[in-house]
Every structure is written in C-alpha cells, then in structure tokens.
Amino acid sequence: MVSCAIALGSNLGDSLNILEDSLQRLTADRNISLTSLSNWYRTRPIGPPQPDYFNGCAILEVKSLTPHQLLATLLGVENQFGRVRDRFWGPRTLDLDLLLYGDLILNSPSLEIPHPRMRERAFVLVPLASIAPDWIEPVTKLSIAQLLERVDISGVRLI
C-alpha cells in the first residue's frame, strides 16, 4: 500500500456533487481506498476569466497501481464527468491531480511527481495541509505545513 495525495477541483456544473461523486467512483476501484478528505474550499481561478473553483484534497491508500496506472484512473474519472481539455487553465467539470505518491520523485514525459506546481498553489496547499500537514514533500524536504507558510492564501475560502 502506498499513500497518495490528490487534488480535486471543479468550476462547471454542480461542482460539489461532482467532487463527491468522483471520490465514490475512484474508491469503487478495489485498489484505491480513501483515508482522509479535506473540507471543500472556494478559490479564485488561475487563467482566463471563469467561475470560482471548488477545491479539496484527499489521501488515498493505493495497492497494485503504479503512478502511471493511478494517473490513468484519475483521467478516466475526469472523462466520466465530461472533462474537456480545450483551453489551457480553462474551466472544467472535474480536475484530478496526482500530487504525491509516497515519497517518490518521478520525472517522465507524461507524469511528474510531486506535482510540479503544487508548492506555489494555495488552493492545493490549504486543503492538503488540513489533512497531511506533516507529509514531507520529497523535492524540497519541507512539510506541507511549511510550504503553506510560503504562499498567499487570500483567495482560498472554506465553504
């Protein structure tokens, strides 16, 4: 079993229900169990003008799935909820990002772990710190709580 952290986001459709339902679909996979879920936060979008996002993070216990297989599972769930990738940083029904896979550091053409921008994103660090403040990000060797101290959290509001 490997502990993994994922970020969840949505700003199109019935976002809160989409986020909850996506977790149910993920945990229907016998190789994935949910161990912790943050509260949901309303956050300002990055990129083109669009509605605010609803974001959160979850800790999963994963067995028998490589990082690439877990990513494929996340992308499959996104597709089930109508995810369309037509604009960079555009609005979306569902966004599932693999943030951390144990203490693995991986740089491949299709996957980078830890997520390369998680360290600068308050909409990731705020919810992640609420459920895994002591998790050490393996590149910087800083805890999630320490990384959170380095970002502006003014655009992140607890729902």
Distance CA 72, CA 120 (A): 25
Report the interhelical angle of 15-27 vs 67-80 (nearest 10°). 140
Cα dist from 105 to 3, 115, 116, 119, 143, whole Å: 14, 10, 11, 14, 15
Enumerate the active-site residues: 83, 92, 95, 97
CA–CA distance, 140 with 137 (Å, rounded to integer): 6
